[in-house]
Amino acid sequence: MHIKDFYQEGNRKRSRYFKTWNDEDARDALKFAQGKIADLSDKIYLGCSVGIAKKPGLLKVEKFEKYLKHTCFWYSYVHLLDMSCKVGVIPDYFIESDGKDGWGRQQFIGIKYTPLFVELSRCNNIAPPRFLRKKPSILFELSDVIAFSAAREAFKRIDNKEPDVSTSGLGKINWYGFDSEGNPLISESAGYPWKEFHEIPDRY
């Protein structure tokens, strides 16, 4: 069960394992998972891309979401490439497939033959990203917790409601975001940097 489904009471009731859980049980389980992620923050690189934008009036939602997805993906991809190769580590990208990842392969080929890629990769041979079908994996599951926490908190704040999920419980995360002009931003902090990125209080 995906974390976003697990967090909904109706979906839990249809689950053989979680049908007796109430909302408080679900929140406690999420906080427990966040704590495990926080424990990893000094052992592995943790990053999360968050794209928050106001949709232009005439642009279709699906097209706009696709644009945000691609922009967030490639910003984090390029930054990780630069950061890794700078210290002599060759990154190997494993990405959970949604069945529509041809764009990822095409864009990798497009960027691979540019001067920017040669410079960032330090002329190392970088394998194309591998898109894997969903299967049990502790790292994929923990990444889902990070993504859900960020999305849930952002959804509540944008809707001017107090968040029922806090990203601060994840410990230190490298957050990728964008300013009002679309320029990329990055910040390492415990909790999404609302004040730094969007000039609004970090706490609701």
For the chain of 204 residues, list the mean pLDDT of each consecutive stretch of 10: 79 84 90 94 88 71 78 84 92 78 67 85 88 77 92 91 93 88 88 91 76
Q: Is residue 81 part of a domain?
A: yes
Q: Is residue 29 part of a domain?
A: no
Structure letter (DSSP) for residue 119? H
Q: Is residue 28 part of a domain?
A: no
Q: Is residue 84 part of a domain?
A: yes
Range of the domain at 65: 45-198
pTM comes to 0.83
R_g over Cα of the chain: 18
Number of domains the chain contains: 1
Q: Is residue 190 part of a domain?
A: yes
Q: Is residue 104 part of a domain?
A: yes
User: Is residue 165 packed enough to be buried (19+ CB in 10 Å), middle (13-18) or exposed (0-12)?
Assistant: buried
Q: Is residue 98 part of a domain?
A: yes
Q: Is residue 146 part of a domain?
A: yes
